[in-house]
Amino acid sequence: MKKYCFLTSLLLFGLLFNAAAKQIKVTTSGFTFSPSSFTANIGDTINFVYGGSSSHTTTSTAVPAGAATWDAPLNSTSTSFLYIIKVGGSYAFKCRPHASMGMVGSFTVPPVTKITVVKAKSVNNCNNKDSLQYKCTQSQPPFKVQLFRYGKAIGSVITVNDTMPFKIGSLQLGSYFATARGNNGTDAFTGTSATSALMPVPQGVLAKNIKSKTATIKWNHLTCVKFYTVQFRKSGVTTWSNRNTMGNKDSLNLTGLTANTKYEFRVASKDSANKIIAASKFTVISTFTTAASLIADNSSSPDFGSINKESLQKDILIYPNPAKNSFTVQTNGLRFNSAKLINANGVIIWSAAQNALSENNKLSVNVSNVAAGTYFLVLIDVNNKQHMQKIVIEK
């Protein structure tokens, strides 16, 4: 979106310059430049031309800040030099061999107002309380400022009487830029600001319904947003995958994921009009780890018998989860004969002796030497019924 609007602004700016731009010929005549003093505009081209007799140069001696300097020969071999004006202000030039003889020149260029975004404040709601702060420089006040939303002028022209930052408030979400013209609007050209997107950043973002190959990314619903973009990638990978919602939704299902893998994700809200898209900043990066395919997608696997995940969540506490060096298992009224920690392939990597877990007792499981990944704690109660909980180990 920003790239599109920026290129559009540049195109309009370039067309304006091309329509008014001209070539100004400056010829060496004896030991003078002709003309030696003149006015030009941004976008004009100065054509320095060798007029015969002695060899000369055209060499800049003063240029405005940000303008390019030049030093070029003008003789029977190098008969011309072109200089395109890109910055407004005062310029001076000379012929190096003959400056002491008065072979000097100058020209002035009316400035183009520079309008800069000082601050763009986007409130994370739909109450039209967003604001933009700009300042105008590189010309003389008062400045005439016009605000645009999705490429169309909105509101009246604003008069700004100094070069201090000024605020435009009570804005609805969208893509904005502003134009400004100095000297009470009489400058030859208009300056254009960078584009700003005023969009609420999604809140309450989380991952749920995580399985081996799928997960649901959810966030708080906002009525003023047209759609959302979810970016996700495997941890350690630099490239993001993008998924857009079909309209204003509060969740998106991710499919085709890899089992037993840690993923990073983030979400941005978006709006659009006139083929321009306004996008919010992405949320901070969050993570989730997919389940191992052996367990999550087949909870009745014969390798583990009858597994009761629901009662485990109610009757015991496991913390912290994710774990790094160890985690604690605490019962809540149930008695367990034994416990084991298994990996995605069903291999037992830790086990507790019979009656290791008794009512209201705690058991610490050391996983400092266990590789990062997704594992499963299987508890067997006094009725020989199995209970399972997923454990994520991070390093």
Q: Are 221 and 250 in contact (CB under 8 A)?
A: yes
Q: Are 280 and 200 in contact (CB under 8 A)?
A: yes
| Domain limit, last residue, from 49, 75, 109 | 109
The pLDDT confidence band at residue 353, using thresholds 50, 70 and 90, is low
| Domain limit, last residue, from 64, 81, 109 | 109
Residues 182 and 97 in one domain: no
In a domain, 313, yes or no: yes
In a domain, 13, yes or no: no
Residue with tokens 């910055």: 87
Instruction: Give residue 89's domain range.
Output: 19-109
Residues 276 and 225 in one domain: yes
For residue 230, pLDDT beyond 80: yes
| Segment 67-75 long-range contacts (CB within 8 Å, at least 24 positions apart) | 67/91, 71/96, 72/48, 74/28, 74/48, 74/49, 74/50, 75/50
In a domain, 148, yes or no: yes
In a domain, 227, yes or no: yes
The pLDDT confidence band at residue 53, using thresholds 50, 70 and 90, is confident
In a domain, 339, yes or no: yes
What is the chain's mean pLDDT, rounded?
85
Q: What is the pLDDT of residue 179?
A: 96
The arithmetic mean of pLDDT across residues 243-267, rounded, is 94
| Domain limit, last residue, from 239, 271, 289 | 289
In a domain, 216, yes or no: yes
**Residue with the larger pLDDT of the pair 220 and 386:** 220
The beta strands (E) that lie in 250-347 are given as 251-254, 262-273, 276-279, 286-289, 316-319, 326-331, 336-342
Q: How many domains does the chain have?
A: 4
Q: Which CATH number does the domain housing residue 246 bear?
A: 2.60.40.10
CA distances for 119 relative to 133, 264, 270, 373, angstroms? 5, 30, 20, 43
Residues 344 and 377 in one domain: yes
Residues 127 and 179 in one domain: yes
Residues 285 and 303 in one domain: no
Residues 184 and 223 in one domain: no
Q: Are 379 and 363 in contact (CB under 8 A)?
A: no
In a domain, 3, yes or no: no
The pLDDT confidence band at residue 361, using thresholds 50, 70 and 90, is low
* pLDDT tens, position by position, 296-343: 443 333 344 444 444 445 567 888 989 999 988 887 666 777 888 888
The arithmetic mean of pLDDT across residues 143-171, rounded, is 96
Residues 281 and 324 in one domain: no
Q: What is the pLDDT of residue 60?
A: 98
Q: What is the SS3 assignment for 14?
A: helix
For residue 375, pLDDT beyond 80: yes
**Residue with the larger pLDDT of the pair 8 and 75:** 75
In a domain, 8, yes or no: no
Q: Which CATH number does the domain housing residue 333 bear?
A: 2.60.40.3080
Residues 99 and 47 in one domain: yes
Q: What is the pLDDT of residue 81?
A: 98
The arithmetic mean of pLDDT across residues 97-108, rounded, is 96
Residues 315 and 382 in one domain: yes
